[in-house]
Amino acid sequence: MIVGDLLHLDDLSIRLAWGTPDLLDRPVTGVSSTDLQDPARYLQPGELVLTGLVWWQPADASGALRFATALRSAGVAALLAGEGTHGSIPDGLAEACRTHGIPLLAVPAGVSFRAVTDRVYLRLWGDLRAGAQDTAAIPETVRSELLDLVRTEAPPGEVLAHAVGRLGLPDCSIGTAGGRPVAGPAPATSTPAGGGPGLPVGPQDGSPFDGWRLRAHPHTPAVEPALQGLADLLAPLAARARAAAGARRRAAGRLLDALADDAGLAEPLAACGLTEAGPLVTVTARIEPGRAGDEPPADWAAHALAEALHPLDTPYAAGTDRTGLGTALVAAPAERVAERLRRARPALQARLTGRRTLRIGVGPAAPPAPQALRAALVQARYVLAGTTGPVGSTAELDSLDGLLRGIPPEVTAAFHARLLAPLAAHDAENGVSLLGTLAVFLEHDGSWARTAEQLHVHVNTVHYRVRRIEELTGRNLARLRDRTDLRAALLCAPGAGVAGAGAAGAGAGAGAAGQALSSS
């Protein structure tokens, strides 16, 4: 589809406000609606941009130029401006589009943006495939019936059921790439016998979690042509769902931006359906690269969160924050959110290649107020930074071990060296591990007898070693504060992992001490 095709959709009466023939030949990749004055970060190259001009103010002479500059930087195909708000397209906007070489089309006041979006996707993913060989396997009468259902916005389940009944197909289902059921009976497994991964439906050029898959149960060679034709006819529904998901992510991005800027939250919360939601659980996610230089796109984590949270059937907003993390605000109890993410994560992880890893951190619930939500997001990010499993939650922040896991490794390594370097130097030159003795002593709550029993040495040996530890570190192991500092330093041992550092040190110390003389 090219921009000029919009002028030939008679039922929409879209008119050309400004544009040259070469600009009208630009290919179209999708549609995005916005009323932000600087929407560049939410747009993709080749998109049509729909705006109701709510952002335009007659007194702001430079506003139209700023808007057009943002569109040019995003590489959009054209601008479609609605005439419903101001009655006509402002001359300043037409001049700004002329300056930046952006085709400008006028959408009459009586035409809904939803109608424009649907017609574009029908043209992109439906009508253009009408002559394809596999689509020809669908009888023309059935094809017309299905397209009528699509145009009248029938739900996917209704369209699929009608197709299966009219074409005599076996049971069919539609699921997302991430494994979430969309329509039809859920398969017994994610890849039914003989069904493989399913046929792609609609656009598939996004993240690994984007797109629909059509499966027949069972899948046989005899149904392949009709199934492929059906996948082509269902493509507008998939494209519509993808456009809606993109709009939700953009709304979530605006909410996260407002939160970061300490701006008003009422409007962005309402746009995400969270106005009356009550406390919101904070969630963060990232996809770790399998090797250097293998960083996945930043928005993949947000796509994964949206895919996982959708079945909760509760309001949520999932987008990408300014740090590049996938971030979500969910109107559900934290325990329920964490459980849902743990159940969904294996299917999402299976979609990743190159040894990439999806990790998720669940923060606490907080009222929808800026200060409270920012504090909760800090906790969710801290959990994400320190979790040792695929899905962590603030429930893990109930011990010194859990608290230390979220601290950057450069900081914990420096803390470990600052407190315990003298003991490490001693152990490197002697046959006795003071680090191991310290670990066992602290694990046994400062008990001389139990430490001696664990290390298989005399109690007097433990006394001697503890005195040497105190001399070398300048700490008094009779004081709780000093014990806590040294315990934390042991947990921060590089390479052992914070949670396992104490146990690793204790084991090593016990082995070395068992071979040491009691007079050491």
Structure tokens at 462: 């433990």
**Where in the sequence of the chain do the CATH 3.30.70.270 domains occur?**
262-398
Structure tokens at 498: 């914070």
Segment 447-479, tens digit of pLDDT:
999 999 999 999 999 999 999 999 999 999 999
Q: According to the 3-state scheme, what is the secondary structure of 407-452?
A: CCHHHHHHHHHHHHHHHHHHHHHCCCCHHHHHHHHHHCCCCHHHHH
CB 282 within 8 A of CB 266: no
The CATH code for residues 409-514 is 1.10.10
DSSP class of residue 277 equals -
State the CATH class of domain 3-111: alpha beta
Segment 319-378, tens digit of pLDDT:
999 888 999 999 999 999 999 999 999 999 998 988 899 999 999 999 999 999 999 999
The one-letter amino acid at 301: A
**Greatest CA separation found in the chain?**
99
Contacts of 230 (CB under 8 A, 6+ apart): 138, 146, 163, 167, 169, 172, 214
Segment 478-487, tens digit of pLDDT:
999 999 999 9
3-state helix, strand, coil in the chain (%, to 5): 50, 15, 35
**Where in the sequence of the chain do the CATH 3.40.1390.20 domains occur?**
3-111
CB 179 within 8 A of CB 150: no
Q: By three-state DSSP, how is residue 330 classified?
A: strand
Specify which residues 183 forms β-bridges with.
174
Segment 127-183, tens digit of pLDDT:
444 444 444 568 888 888 988 888 888 899 999 999 999 988 889 999 988 888 899
Q: Is the pLDDT confidence value at 496 over 80?
A: no
Superfamily name with CATH number, domain 262-398? Reverse transcriptase/Diguanylate cyclase domain (3.30.70.270)
How far apart are alpha carbons 34 and 182 in whole angstroms? Answer: 27
**H/E stretch holding 32:** strand 30-33
CB 185 within 8 A of CB 173: yes
Q: Is the pLDDT confidence value at 285 over 60?
A: yes
The DSSP bridge pattern shows strands 391-393 and 357-366 to be parallel
The DSSP bridge pattern shows strands 104-107 and 78-82 to be parallel
Segment 53-103, tens digit of pLDDT:
989 988 888 999 999 999 999 999 999 999 988 999 999 999 999 999 999
Q: Which of 368, 273, 256, 386 is nearest to 322 (CA)?
A: 256
Specify which residues 319 forms β-bridges with.
327
Q: Which of 271, 285, 274, 476 is nearest to 366 (CA)?
A: 274
Predicted pLDDT of residue 205: 63
- The whole-model pTM stands at 0.66
**Where in the sequence of the chain do the CATH 1.10.10 domains occur?**
409-514
